[in-house]
């Protein structure tokens, strides 16, 4: 039997985490058994950390962007060299199965690659000036210290989306990881510190602050943090958004989802079944993009539900350390209680639990939940709520208009999918009057986005966009420049003065 604590210590040491960081008052538990793994030191003076990062930013902003890219390139290499260690820590702290833990680390490597390319493509536009002999253009400049607040369920990928991009944009980063997953954060911090030292970048360019909500609040309220990129629950975003806005800071909010897929009569039901099981039961239902609602045409509902309940019945639930396990534990007891309460509420609303919902006693105080499918008579309040556990609510529809209306009638707007072989239906779902989400897929489940696209969602999901495409713009400030080389003073709009 593997000693989980030893395994964590070995991975941390290999990444370069110093022993001093591993003595403190914040207890770190593993969801695999519920036992304490280690305890870590909490950050006392967030203000001092932010000030140091701000000073580093003042130096870093004048380093040419392609040179900044070299730092991120090295970071990507180091993450690649420590892929196994980091994946081990993700499994131990967040409970992910090996393949998903490795996938999360791969996402970090991918976004570093992306950011290195981006470091030569921080394009501004030039526009024709209405005045002869004038040039009108925009320039993108570094912004300052970016505060990154992250959630437990993607303990490292979300950090890397923000950090790789922020660093090439010329910003400094102060990271507040989830208090449930500080070990992966310490490991990443050691790697970024090493890259910074090797490339002689300013030493405080990246700092990590450890602790709970109060540590996050100190970052949120700091006037030296012009951008707070916060990932977590809608409750958290509701608090963070107005606080940052009150000091005219910017936020990039990546909050809860309540993602749905529509299954039409022409869908390939075998492909849909595989996609749905991964999206709904994978990561034990603990992704922001987890599939939580299935909207199925009445003509295929029974057949699809038959396939799904059979697949759910065979899902290997167990320790993520065991080869073959597909569903690991929930993060903690509270998560399982939330799941049970949601299932009770669904039953009260007339829902029929077709499969799952129980707890498997696998190891100690680990909360291993059986992924559940619940057929609902209508989209009641509990269906419209994000419960961070593997519950898939099933609703049926007759017309595509009805399906789209049901799909959009929730407060969240993160990810969505349609399963169809009818191009008109697919195009309708992608159109302006189709899905209202930030991520809209065809014949693919709601989870498992690639880093090249901008990631994020609408409504209570917060509106932020991170990672690929032009998401980098949120990390920079834009200056519009008019340069007069005409030798005369010409005022815009033909205004005469003096």
How many Cβ atoms are within 10 Å of 198's Cβ, its own excluded?
Answer: 13
Distance from C-alpha of 111 to C-alpha of 90, rounded to nearest angstrom:
18
CA proximity to 336, closest of 308, 360, 352 = 360
Minimum separation from the CB atom of position 408 to ligand NAD (A)? 18
CA proximity to 418, closest of 214, 276, 285 = 276
Minimum separation from the CB atom of position 50 to ligand NAD (A)? 14
Distance from C-alpha of 260 to C-alpha of 403, rounded to nearest angstrom:
10
Compute the chain's Rg from CA coordinates: 24
Q: At what angle do helices 83-94 and 98-118 cross, to 10 degrees?
A: 120
18 is catalytic: no
Minimum separation from the CB atom of position 331 to ligand NAD (A)? 7
Measured from the CB atom, is 221 or 422 closer to ligand NAD?
A: 221
Distance from C-alpha of 446 to C-alpha of 317, rounded to nearest angstrom:
21
Taking the C-alpha atoms of 343, 236, 31 and 25 in order, what is their torsion angle to the nearest 10 degrees?
-140
Compute CA 141 distance to the chain's CA centroid, rounded to the nearest angstrom: 25
Measured from the CB atom, is 49 or 414 closer to ligand NAD?
A: 414
**93, 104, 179, 254: which is the annotated catalytic residue?**
254
Minimum separation from the CB atom of position 215 to ligand NAD (A)? 7
Q: Report which DSSP code applies to 468.
A: S
Taking the CA of residue 132 as centre, how many other CA atoms within 13 Å lie in the half-sphere pointing to its CB? 3
Q: ∠ CA 61-65-70 to the nearest 5 degrees?
A: 110
Measured from the CB atom, is 150 or 441 closer to ligand NAD?
A: 150
Distance from C-alpha of 163 to C-alpha of 40, rounded to nearest angstrom:
22
What is the DSSP annotation of 289-326?
A: T-EEEEEEEHHHHHHHHHHHHHHHHT--BS-TTSTT--
Measured from the CB atom, is 13 or 243 closer to ligand NAD?
A: 243
Measured from the CB atom, is 312 or 388 closer to ligand NAD?
A: 388
Measured from the CB atom, is 210 or 426 closer to ligand NAD?
A: 210
Contact 462, 255 (CB under 8 A): yes
Binding positions for ligand NAD, rule: CB under 6 A: 149-154, 158, 176, 178-179, 212-213, 216-217, 220, 231-233, 236, 239-240, 254-257, 288, 386, 388, 414, 461
| Residues taking part in catalysis | 254
């Amino acid at each position: 039997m593997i000693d989980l604590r030893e395994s964590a210590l070995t991975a941390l040491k290999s990444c370069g985490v110093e022993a001093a960081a591993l003595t403190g008052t914040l207890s770190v538990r593993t969801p695999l058994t519920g036992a304490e793994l280690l305890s870590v030191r909490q950050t006392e003076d967030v203000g001092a950390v932010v000030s140091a990062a701000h000073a580093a930013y003042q130096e870093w902003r004048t380093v040419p962007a392609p040179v900044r890219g070299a730092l991120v390139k090295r970071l990507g290499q180091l993450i690649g060299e420590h892929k196994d260690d980091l994946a081990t820590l993700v499994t131990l702290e967040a409970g992910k199965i090996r393949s998903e833990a490795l996938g999360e680390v791969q996402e970090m490597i991918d976004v570093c690659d992306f950011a290195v390319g981006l470091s030569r493509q921080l394009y501004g536009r030039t526009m024709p000036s209405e005045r002869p002999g004038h040039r009108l253009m925009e320039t993108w400049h570094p912004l300052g210290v970016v505060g990154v607040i992250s959630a437990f369920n993607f303990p490292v990928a979300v950090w890397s989306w923000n950090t790789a991009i922020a660093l090439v944009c010329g910003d400094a980063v102060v990271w507040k990881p989830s208090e449930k997953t500080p070990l992966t954060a310490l490991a990443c911090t050691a790697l970024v510190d090493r890259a910074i030292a090797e490339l002689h970048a300013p030493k405080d360019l990246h700092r990590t602050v450890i602790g709970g909500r109060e540590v996050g609040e100190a970052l949120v309220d700091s006037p030296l943090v012009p951008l707070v990129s916060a990932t977590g629950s809608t409750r958290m975003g509701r608090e963070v958004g107005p606080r940052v806005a009150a000091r005219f800071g910017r936020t990039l909010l990546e909050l809860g989802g309540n993602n749905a897929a529509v299954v039409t009569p022409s869908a390939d039901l075998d492909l849909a079944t595989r996609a749905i099981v991964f999206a709904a039961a994978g990561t034990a239902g603990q992704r922001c993009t987890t599939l939580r609602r299935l909207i199925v045409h009445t003509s295929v509902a029974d057949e699809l539900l038959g396939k799904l309940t059979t697949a759910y019945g065979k899902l290997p639930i167990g320790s993520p350390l065991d080869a073959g396990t597909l569903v690991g534990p929930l993060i903690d007891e509270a998560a399982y209680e939330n799941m049970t309460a949601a299932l009770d509420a669904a039953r009260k609303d007339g829902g029929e639990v077709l499969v799952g919902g129980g707890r498997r006693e696998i190891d100690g105080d680990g909360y291993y939940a059986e992924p559940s499918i619940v057929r609902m008579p209508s989209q009641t309040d509990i269906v419209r709520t994000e419960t961070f556990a593997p519950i898939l609510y099933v609703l049926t529809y007759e017309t595509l208009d009805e399906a789209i209306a049901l799909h959009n009638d929730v407060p969240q707007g993160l990810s969505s999918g349609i399963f169809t072989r009818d191009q008109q239906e697919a195009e309708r779902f992608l159109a302006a009057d189709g899905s209202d989400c930030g991520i809209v897929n065809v014949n693919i489940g709601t989870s498992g986005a690639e880093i090249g696209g901008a990631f994020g969602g609408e409504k209570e999901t917060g509106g932020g966009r991170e990672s690929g495409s032009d998401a980098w713009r949120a990390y920079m400030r834009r200056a519009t420049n008019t340069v007069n080389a005409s030798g005369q003073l010409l005022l815009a709009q033909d205004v005469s003065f003096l």
